[in-house]
Homo-oligomer: A and B are copies of this chain.
C-alpha cells in the first residue's frame, strides 16, 4: 500500500473515507445481489462522515498513521449506517425518507433492509479484524479498537439509547433523561470514533481522556444544535412560535430549556471541546474548527 499522504483537512479525509467505503463493500453478485445493493445504497449515501473523520483526525493528532486507521474509521461509519437503516424501519421510527432519498426499506423492502443492517454491522467487525487490518496496526490495537466499537455500539451504548428513545415517546422526559438518551444513542459512537483514533495511534492516557472530553462536548452540542435547527425550521414552516412543539410529542432541548439557553449551551460545549484540545502537542486547528463548524451548521 502507498505510504500515507497526511492531509489534515475535511475534504481530504472525506475523500479517503468515501474511497475506502467503496473498496470495502462487497461486489453485487450471486443470488444475494440485492443485499449488496441495499448495503451500498445506504453506506454510500453521502452524509458528513463526521465519525470517521474524527477517527482519522485524532489518529493523526496522536501521531498515528491515517491510512492504517481507515478500516477502523470506516467500521464506525458502517455501524452508524446500520443504525440508521434499522431506525427507519416501520417497527421503529417508520421514516420513509433519509438524506433526501427513500429510506432503505422503501427503496428495497423491509426484510432486505433488516438484513442489510445486520450485514453492515457484521462487516464493520469483519473489516477491522481481517488479516490486512491486523497487519496494518497489529492484533493488539485491532482487537482493542474493535472492542471499543462493540462496547459503545451495543446494549450499554447506542442500542440502549435507541431503546430509551423509543420508550420516551409520548412521555414526560427530564433534561437528565434526555441527556442520558443522547449520550447513549449518538454520544457513544462519537466517543468510540475518537477513542479508536487514539487506540490505532497508541496514544497515551492523557490524550485519550482529552479526546473523550472533546467527544462528549461535541456530541451533546451536535444534538442541541440539531434540536435548534429542527425547531427553527418547524417554526418557519408552520408559522408557530419557536419552542411550541404541538406536531411532535418528543421532548427536545429547546422544549425543555428554550431557544436562547440552548444557543448558549451549544457555545459553552463547543468551547469546552476546543479547550480539551489544549493538552495535545500537535496542530489542533482542524479539530478546533470542526467543533466550531458543527455548532454553527445551518442544516
Contacts and interface: CB of A to CB of B under 8 A. Distances in A.
Contact of A154 (B123, B139, B156): B123
A233 interface: no
Q: Copies of this chain, how many?
A: 2
Interface stretch (A60-68, A160-168, A277-285): A160-168
B150 A122 contact: yes
Contacts of A115: 86, 159, 162-163
Contact of A91 (B34, B35, B111, B180): B111
Contacts of A139: 138-140, 142-144
A80 B125 CA distance: 16
A39 interface: yes
A164 B111 contact: no
A202 B160 CA distance: 36
A244 interface: no
A276 B117 CA distance: 37
Interface in A174-198: 177, 180
Interface residues of A, number: 55
Nearest to A30: B160
B159 A35 contact: yes
Interface string A1-41: 00000000000000000000000001000111011100100
A134 B150 CA distance: 14
A213 B70 CA distance: 35
Contact of A35 (B114, B121, B153, B155): B155
A126 interface: yes
A257 interface: no
Contacts of A150: 122-123, 125-126, 129
Contacts of A160: 30, 32, 35
B92 A154 contact: no
Contacts of A89: 91, 114
Contact of A134 (B34, B35, B143, B159): B143
A96 interface: no
A118 interface: yes
A95 to B, nearest CB: 13
Given A125-B147, A139-B143, 6 more contacts: A26-B155, A32-B160, A115-B162, A119-B159, A129-B143, A129-B150
